[in-house]
């Protein structure tokens, strides 16, 4: 709508009451905070036509007014606070720190857990290892178009509990987030529980003590490095990208995966080339891959000893039509029109070392697993379309209109076999993990 | 009394500015675009809006649009926006929730 206003066309847009702040912030980010809204009580989704019609009738004066009355500057726009330093008093430093945590929480700068105080000294220590100027701009992060300087990343890394060894990894993750193909705006602001899955490959992940083995995505001392790096990514999305719940993160239920979701690949236990080699990097390179995911499903199988049987079990996790990405290719591709990017819906499999050995023993590589899963994971057209807009299917694939006459035809749930990204992660026992993905992963090298 | 001084984690933002379009004096002779991003329910809201606008502004004309790219939400490209801007005087949209 802002782009139409820029072209001289007056617009008005339906917006649910709960999304007014979000719409205002979004319009402000694009330069027009006062974009006229026709506010309706609830989202239009999942409403009966007669209820939608009633809402349109009640909003009619706003629609006419939005197109005919002058647009007034919106005074309630959000702006980042100007102060670069904050001071907190207390009877002792512990009390002052507690006061800082309460204030940061109130301002929306915290994920809810206690934060490490980003003092001058702590941030300087973080920066010493980076061999970068604090003012260097790494990227501009959406949805708020926040300027990601090295110093701001260091501050958020300190708050998350990171050490200096984590900062180069965080910088690489931020570069992933900022890639146009990541379409961060969509994933950060959505009503879906998009969580950035951070996968680290190479020697710098090992040097930073990232856990690739037992309970790599869980709590506890072995995964402390994973926890703080994943947390730093989330805090950076919030305080640098300006992704704030209820304002620019409209997640319906949320997900614990959004607090921190980070590990390394278990390269030593993998029978295959490391994941980042499949992404075009040299084996000795260090990389960070970020793939936004909606949720996780266990890939449990203690019984199978043949690849074909494992594939059948894995396919049951993949064929879950309640998960938004399943069969989504039928209605198009995730696309950011500003950059003319398109994403296929990928999903990430963490194959545990024991299952990986079953595949490798029979000579199966990643490509063969991808192909077999692509063939095994199918659902009838009518099932895939249960939660999809038929008109979107017509718009995306007019050549597939004939499917309406073959509702029971089994179709693949992803666009192509390469939509399954496979890494080896975890300890002993036949329990992997399947991540329902949102769009494509992005990989960046770790520098410095 | 102890004092703890810390650095702000919040980044400055790149500001953008767009001048709003001049509004129409009335909609009586206007061609009005109805833009649906294909999120469920938006089409029904636009259907009723068109009925109401036709009733109040009998001379108004209407054109329907959706974006040429996307998936759950179909987005408007720059080319789409140029085309819409060349064909209508105003737009009512359903793109948010």
Domain spans, chain A:
2-68, 193-215+261-377+413-445
Query: For residue A367, how many other CB atoms are within 10 A of its CB?
Result: 12
According to DSSP, the residues that pair with A336 across neighbouring strands are A341
Q: For chain B, what are the domain ranges? A: 31-94
Predicted pLDDT of residue A26: 87
Residue in chain B nearest A89 by alpha carbon:
B3
> In Å, how far is A415's CA from the nearest CA of chain B?
13
In whole angstroms, give the CA distance from residue B66 to residue B44.
14
State the Cα–Cα distance between residues A13 and B35, nearest whole angstrom: 9
Taking contacts as CB-CB distances below 8 angstroms, the residues of chain A near B85 are 4, 7-9
- Give the three-class secondary structure for B64: strand
Q: What token pair was written down for B44?
A: 């029904």
B18 to A328: CB separation less than 8 angstroms, yes or no: no
Q: State the complex-level ipTM.
A: 0.94
Distance from C-alpha of A194 to C-alpha of A254, rounded to nearest angstrom: 8
Q: With an 8 Å Cβ cutoff, are B18 and A5 in contact?
A: yes
CB count, 10 Å around CB of A447?
13
Min distance B28 CA to chain A CA atoms (Å) = 11
Cβ-based contacts under 8 A for chains A and B: 287
Higher pLDDT, A326 or B17: A326
Contact at CB, A85 and B7, closer than 8 angstroms: yes
A64: chain B residues, CB-CB within 8 Å: 27, 53, 56
Cβ-nearest to B13 among A5, A80, A123:
A80
Do A8 and B22 lie within an 8 Å CB cutoff? yes
Residues of B in contact with A140 (CB under 8 A): 14
Residue A293, beta-bridge partner list = A195, A437
Residues in chain B closer than 8 A to A342 (CB atoms): 69
d(CA B6, CA B10): 12
User: Residue A404 is encoded by which pair of tokens?
Assistant: 């309406």
Q: What is the pTM of this model?
A: 0.95
Q: In this predicted structure, what is the pLDDT of residue A170?
A: 98
The answer to whether the CB atoms of B8 and A81 lie below 8 A apart is yes
B11 and A147 within 8 Å at the Cβ level: the answer is yes
Residue A314's CB: how many other CB atoms inside 10 A?
25
Answer for the pair A336, B78: CB distance below 8 angstroms, yes or no: no
The residue-averaged pLDDT of B8-14 equals: 96
Q: Which two tokens stand for residue A290?
A: 């970020």
Per DSSP, helices labelled H in A1-92 are: 2-6, 20-29, 49-58, 60-68
Instruction: Report in angstroms the alpha-carbon separations of A445 from A134, A178, A349, B21.
Output: 20, 14, 21, 44
For the cut 80, the answer to whether the pLDDT of residue B80 exceeds it is yes
Question: What Rg do the C-alpha atoms of chain A give, in angstroms?
Answer: 24
Kindly give the confidence (pLDDT) of every residue in chain A, 448 residues in length, as a single tens digit, with 9 standing for 90 and above: 899 999 999 999 999 999 998 888 888 888 888 899 999 999 999 999 999 999 999 999 999 999 999 998 665 566 677 789 999 999 999 999 999 999 999 999 999 999 999 999 999 999 997 888 999 999 999 999 999 999 999 999 999 999 999 999 999 999 999 999 999 999 999 999 999 999 999 999 999 999 999 999 999 999 999 999 999 999 999 999 999 999 999 999 999 999 999 999 999 999 999 999 999 999 999 999 999 999 999 999 999 999 999 999 999 999 999 999 999 999 999 999 999 999 999 999 999 999 999 999 999 999 999 999 999 999 999 999 999 999 999 999 999 999 999 999 999 999 999 999 999 999 999 999 999 999 999 999 999 7
Position A83 scores a pLDDT of 87
Query: How many whole angstroms separate alpha carbon A377 and alpha carbon A372?
Result: 9
Residue A72: the pLDDT is 80
Average pLDDT over residues B55-65: 97
């Amino acid at each position: 709508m802002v782009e139409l206003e820029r072209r001289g066309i007056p617009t008005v847009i339906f917006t649910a009451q709960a999304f007014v702040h979000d719409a205002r912030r979004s319009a402000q980010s694009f330069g027009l905070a006062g974009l006229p809204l026709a506010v309706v009580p609830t989202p239009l989704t999942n409403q009966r036509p007669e209820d939608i019609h009633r809402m349109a009738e009640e909003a009619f004066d706003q629609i006419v007014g939005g197109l005919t009355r002058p647009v007034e500057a919106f005074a309630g726009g959000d702006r980042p606070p100007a102060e670069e330093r904050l001071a907190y008093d207390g009877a002792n430093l512990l009390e002052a720190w507690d006061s800082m945590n309460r204030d940061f929480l109130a301002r929306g700068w915290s994920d809810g857990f206690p934060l490490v105080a980003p003092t001058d000294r702590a941030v300087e220590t973080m920066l010493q290892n980076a061999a970068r100027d604090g003012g260097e701009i790494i990227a501009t992060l959406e949805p708020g178009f926040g300027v990601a300087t090295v110093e701001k990343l260091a501050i958020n890394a300190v708050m998350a509990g990171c050490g200096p060894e984590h900062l180069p990894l965080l910088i690489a993750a931020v570069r992933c987030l900022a890639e146009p193909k990541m379409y961060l705006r969509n994933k950060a602001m959505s009503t879906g529980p998009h969580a950035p899955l951070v996968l680290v490959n190479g020697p710098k992940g090992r040097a930073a003590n990232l856990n690739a083995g037992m309970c790599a995505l869980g709590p506890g001392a072995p995964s402390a490095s994973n926890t703080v790096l994943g947390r730093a990514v989330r805090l950076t999305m919030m305080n640098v990208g300006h992704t704030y719940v209820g304002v620019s993160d409209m997640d319906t239920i949320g997900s614990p995966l959004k607090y921190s979701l980070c590990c390394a690949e278990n390269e030593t236990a993998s029978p295959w080339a490391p994941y980042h080699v499949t992404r075009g990097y040299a084996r000795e390179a260090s990389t960070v891959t970020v793939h936004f995911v909606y949720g996780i499903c266990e890939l449990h199988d203690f019984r199978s000893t043949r690849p074909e049987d494992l594939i059948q079990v894995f396919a049951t996790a993949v064929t879950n039509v309640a998960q938004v990405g399943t069969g989504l290719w039928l209605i198009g591709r995730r696309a950011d029109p500003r950059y003319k990017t398109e994403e296929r819906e990928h999903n990430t499999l963490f194959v545990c070392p024991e299952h990986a050995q079953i595949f490798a023993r029979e000579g199966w590589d990643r490509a063969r697993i991808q192909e077999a899963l692509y063939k095994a994971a199918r659902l009838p057209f009518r099932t895939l379309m249960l939660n999809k807009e038929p008109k979107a299917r017509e718009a995306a694939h007019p050549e597939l209109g004939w499917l309406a006459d073959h509702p029971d035809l089994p179709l693949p749930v992803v666009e192509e076999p390469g939509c399954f990204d496979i890494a080896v992660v975890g300890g002993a026992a036949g329990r992997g993990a399947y991540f329902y993905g949102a769009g494509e992963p992005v990989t960046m090298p770790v520098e410095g | 009394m102890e004092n703890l001084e810390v650095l702000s984690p919040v980044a400055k933002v790149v500001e953008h500015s767009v001048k709003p379009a001049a509004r129409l004096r009335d909609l009586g002779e206007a061609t009005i675009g109805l833009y649906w991003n294909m999120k469920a329910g938006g089409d029904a809201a636009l259907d009723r809006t068109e009925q109401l606008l036709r009733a109040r502004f009998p001379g108004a004309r209407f054109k329907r649009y959706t974006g040429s790219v996307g998936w759950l939400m179909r987005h408007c490209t720059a080319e789409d926006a140029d085309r819409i801007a060349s064909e209508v005087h105003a737009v009512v949209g359903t793109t948010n929730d």
